Amino acid sequence: MHVLVIGDVGVIDGMMHIGDEAMFEAAVAELRDRGLDAVGVSSVPEESAERYGIRCVPRLGFAGLDREASAARAEQLIAAAHGALQLPDDDIALPALEALRGASGLLNAGGGNLASRWHAHVFERSTLAAMAAALGVPVVVSGQTFGPDLDAADAELVAGMVRTAAIASVRETASLELAGGWRDDVRLVVDDASFLDAGAVDDGTLLVSLSGWFDHRPAEVVEAAIARAIDHAASVTGATVRFHAHFGPLDDPAPTRGDAALHERLRARLTVPSEVLPTGSSRDGVRLARGARMLITGRYHPAVFAAPAGVPVLALAVDEYTRIKLTGALGHWGARPPVPIDELDAVGAATIEALHEGRELVRAAAAERELAHRAAASAWWDDVAAAFRGA
């Protein structure tokens, strides 16, 4: 028997998304540590199977569908799970359905981006959970962020998935408050990838890992402010500026895709020298973040990796979604909340100085919380395994 695990994984066109892969990798490792085999659901099954050493099946076919077509597709797949209809022999979802029929559980792994701006994720995860329920397969929802933008129809799909799950967890208080309206025993945990790898020593790096999403603000204005902050952080810390794309190309060094394109524009604005680090693997991302002297990021998982090691983090929030996620990631470890991007020029320099001067306090705050968070995370995965064993 195996557990079917769905995460947002699969390297498409050579582009790696470290955070999504990290959560899936951590979930598979936690199951394996408890004697459970995993079968993955991936956008690129062959690539993910080789990367993680497990069998993988394709996604369910929601990518590119509008809401009306997605609803019809969900109805078709759920009916097939109930045995009310037969899917065509060439239907892309057949391998996932067959994997569910032979599964001891379905794990909706962390980071489903379950918000209305990504309705394909909402439909895929809620549909897979409904298919599992039709087959009597227990469902676990792990380490999710819900919303903040969930329209009524999408909220009901997500709520249905959470209500029917054996157990469910979220990774920040905003999601806990939302899920509390659906059931009263949803658990608050750190992100699934928080303990993916061991710590690292300070290697003198001012690590920069940013996303090009500025919520429709003028890119020139935002990039100029970020470059000023990086210059100031370099002068305060004395660290070497190194850029690391969490969404970037694995084999193509051209800085024109993903986060790397933004990083090159920022490098051109800096008054200090800088270097570019290859995107690499999830564990490379963990090592770099935990070994940094300071991290400047607008992405979520660099903060998830750095905060447990007590690395000072200047996090930049561009909208309510990034504010909620970054606040959650940092708040678990007693770290400073994110700075709204519109306030960066006003408060960025002072925040950088305070982070550097208080770095020992940052490290102590993280160390004080580590044992409790590790114990809670271990207990969560013990309960996940028990749910899949029918305990």
Q: What confidence score (pLDDT) does residue 332 get?
A: 97
Q: Are 241 and 283 in contact (CB under 8 A)?
A: no
Can you give the pLDDT at residue 198?
58
Domains and CATH numbers, the chain: 2-193+375-388 (3.40.50.2000), 205-357 (3.40.50.2000)
pLDDT digits (tens, 9 = 90+) for 2-55: 999 999 999 999 999 999 999 999 999 999 999 999 999 999 999 999 999 999
Which token pair is 10? 């699969």
Average pLDDT of the segment spanning 303-316: 97
> Exposed e or buried b for every residue in 264-302, given b needs 16+ CB within 10 A?
bebbeebebebebbebbbbbbbbbbbbbbbbbbbbbbbb
Please tell me the predicted confidence (pLDDT) of residue 113. 79
* pLDDT score for 157: 96
Per cent of the chain over pLDDT 90 is 92
- Reported as a single tens digit per residue, the pLDDT across 243-258 is 999 999 997 666 678 9
Q: How confident is the model at residue 294 (pLDDT cuts 50, 70, 90)?
A: very high
- Tell me how far apart the alpha carbons of residues 52 and 31 are, in angstroms, rounded to a whole number: 13
* Average pLDDT value for residue range 351-372: 97
The per-residue pLDDT for 197 is 79
pLDDT at residue 390 in the model: 83
- Residue 190 tokens read as 């750190």
Residue 110: per-residue pLDDT: 81
How confident is the model at residue 175, as a pLDDT? 95
Query: pLDDT tens digits, residue range 55-66?
Result: 999 999 999 999
Report residue 203's pLDDT band, with 50, 70 and 90 as the boundaries.
confident
The pLDDT value given to residue 254: 62
Q: Is 329 left (phi over 0), alpha (psi -120 to 50) or beta?
A: alpha
| Mean pLDDT, residues 67-74 taken together | 96
The predicted pLDDT at position 253 comes to 62
| Distance in angstroms (rounded) separating the CA atoms of residues 113 and 321 | 10
List, for residues 218-274, the tens digit of each pLDDT value. 999 999 999 999 999 999 999 999 999 999 999 766 667 899 999 999 999 999 999
pLDDT value at residue 224: 98
Average pLDDT of the segment spanning 309-324: 96
pLDDT for the residue numbered 382: 98
Q: What is the largest CA-CA distance in the chain?
A: 66
Give which of 249, 333, 246 is closest to 296, Cα–Cα. 246
Tell me the pLDDT of the chain averaged across its residues.
Answer: 95
Q: For the chain, what percent of residues have pLDDT higher than 70?
A: 97
Residue 111 binned pLDDT confidence (cut-offs 50, 70, 90): confident
- Tell me the average pLDDT across 301-309: 97
The helix, strand and coil proportions of the chain, stated in percent and rounded to the nearest 5, come to 50, 15, 35
Report d(CA 103, CA 2) in Å as an integer.
5
Lowest average pLDDT, out of 112-121, 130-139, 186-195, 280-289, goes to: 112-121
- pLDDT surpassing 80 at residue 199: no
Residue 94 has pLDDT above 90, yes or no: yes
**At 89, is the pLDDT very low, low, confident or very high (cuts 50, 70, 90)?**
very high
Confidence of residue 335 (pLDDT cuts 50, 70, 90): very high
Q: Is the pLDDT confidence value at 280 over 60? A: yes
Where residue 112 falls among pLDDT bands split at 50, 70, 90?
A: low
Query: Mind listing the pLDDT tens digit for each residue in 130-155?
Result: 999 999 999 999 999 999 999 999 99
